[in-house]
């Protein structure tokens, strides 16, 4: 007796439901829940944790890691790794400070030259990895040591400071309260418009659509978080400019990852490089571009860090590459390649910054901070591997 075959409409309905569930980013919601638990835990231990001033400082602290993590997502998704971004942060920040403090360059040329330096470094890495087949681990490990040595050499081991007010503004200024509320209102409107357009598009193509109440509840929850964030930041000095930069980069690179041919190619390369090659994807050029983006964002992070601390030191950016990788992995980016999101990486950076900030407020000794962060990283990788095994089973 032959097994019964589901009818075509039933098969289409199941596929639509699977697509709908696939779009439901369970990992992102889990990250938000974990973040809430971390904040509540530290708030119970110390009343100062959830004050507007401390939260503003927390977001400032996470900005550099978040910028690095955005670039690192593309590198890891493509099946590679970049261990040099911390040293690039130090080197490019040092070059920026030297040009301004020792040679008197204006801020705009300093920023342009610094970003160009990051792009050149990324080109060098991409050329070695993509065109000379040297493993990215070795190329970027060598870069990590070389750039730190170059920084020590060009600064002669000195702290280069202070910088001009126009440069410091990149890392130390805040958006006025009125502007923040106007931006929040615009974002809320866009959220609802996007929700209705998404529903209309899915209905037009015959896909399953959640109830209007569920969609509006989800959109309203996100809008409430936006308004709460602006409210809390305005209780102190306003939204920090580095966070505005992080949000702008997150939107831009999310679009690049999800809506462009380049983004689809990067995910295809990380998922199955042989299949990508047979499909005609220009693998070498894509990998080269991925490292260029990573170098560019690392230089931007170097500018933000140098502006925030108003100095360049030989220790700037030390171990930042591990924080960036940890943010990506905690945020759901697979070290096996082929999967990961910008939103997850930014949330991962916020989790890392929250742990650092909370443990610092508790005056926890440094060795405990390393132990906690290392344990969380291992657990995040284990969860990723476990979920992959479940999917294959």
Q: What is the pLDDT confidence band of residue 267, given thresholds at 50, 70 and 90?
A: very high
Confirm if 80 and 287 have CB atoms less than 8 A apart. Answer: yes
What average pLDDT does range 223-231 have in this prediction?
93
pLDDT at residue number 11: 41
Which one is the CATH code of 18-168+239-363: 1.10.287, 3.40.50, 3.30.1490, 1.10.3470? 1.10.3470
Q: What is the pLDDT of residue 4?
A: 44
Locate the domains of the chain by residue range.
Answer: 18-168+239-363, 177-237
Between 18-22, 339-343, 365-369, the lowest mean confidence (pLDDT) is in 18-22
d(CA 79, CA 266): 9
pLDDT higher than threshold 90 for residue 31:
no
Confidence label for 392 from pLDDT (cuts 50, 70 and 90): low
The per-residue pLDDT of the chain, averaged, comes to 88
Q: What is the pLDDT at residue 6?
A: 45
117 pLDDT above the threshold of 60:
yes
Cα 44–Cα 46–Cα 48 angle in degrees, nearest 5: 120
| Statement: residue 220 has pLDDT above 80 | yes
What are the angstrom distances between the C-alpha of 67 and each of 26, 250, 323, 324?
A: 23, 8, 11, 8
pLDDT score of 135 more than 90: yes
- Single pTM value for the model: 0.89
pLDDT reading at 28 higher than 80: no
Helices and strands counted in the chain (H then E): 16, 2
């Amino acid at each position: 007796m032959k097994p019964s075959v589901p009818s075509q409409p039933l098969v289409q309905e199941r596929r639509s439901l699977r697509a709908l569930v696939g779009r439901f980013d369970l990992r992102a919601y889990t990250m938000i829940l974990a973040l809430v638990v971390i904040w509540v835990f530290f708030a119970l231990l110390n009343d100062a944790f959830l004050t507007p001033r401390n939260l503003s400082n927390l977001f400032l602290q996470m900005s550099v890691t978040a910028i690095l993590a955005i670039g690192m997502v593309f590198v890891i998704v493509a099946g590679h790794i970049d261990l040099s971004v911390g040293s690039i942060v130090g080197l490019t920040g040092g070059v920026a400070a030297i040009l301004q403090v020792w040679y008197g360059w204006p801020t705009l040329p300093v920023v342009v030259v610094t970003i160009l330096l990051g792009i050149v470094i990324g080109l060098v890495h991409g050329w070695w990895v993509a065109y000379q087949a040297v493993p990215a681990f070795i190329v970027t490990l060598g870069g990590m040591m070389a750039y730190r040595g170059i920084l020590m050499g060009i600064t002669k081991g000195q702290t280069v400071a202070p910088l001009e007010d126009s440069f410091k503004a990149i890392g130390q200024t805040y958006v006025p309260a009125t502007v923040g509320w106007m931006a929040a209102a615009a974002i809320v409107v866009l959220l609802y418009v996007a929700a209705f357009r998404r529903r209309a598009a899915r209905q037009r193509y015959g896909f399953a659509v959640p109830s209007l109440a569920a969609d509006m509840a989800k959109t309203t929850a996100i809008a409430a978080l936006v308004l709460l964030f602006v409210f809390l930041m305005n209780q102190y000095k306003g939204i920090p400019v580095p966070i505005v930069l992080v949000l702008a980069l997150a939107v831009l690179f999310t679009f690049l990852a999800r809506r462009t041919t380049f983004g689809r190619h990067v995910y295809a390369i990380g998922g199955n490089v042989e299949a990508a090659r047979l499909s005609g994807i220009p693998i070498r050029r894509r990998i080269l571009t991925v490292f260029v983006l990573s170098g560019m964002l690392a230089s931007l992070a170097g500018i933000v860090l140098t502006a925030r601390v108003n100095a360049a030191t030989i220790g700037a950016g030390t171990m930042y590459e591990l924080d960036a990788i940890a943010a990506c992995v905690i945020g759901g980016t697979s070290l096996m390649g082929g999967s990961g999101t910008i939103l997850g990486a930014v949330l991962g950076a916020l989790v890392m910054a929250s742990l650092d900030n909370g443990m610092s407020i508790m005056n926890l000794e440094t060795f405990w901070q390393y132990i906690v962060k290392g344990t969380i990283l291992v657990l995040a990788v284990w969860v990723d591997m476990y979920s992959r095994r479940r999917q294959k089973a």
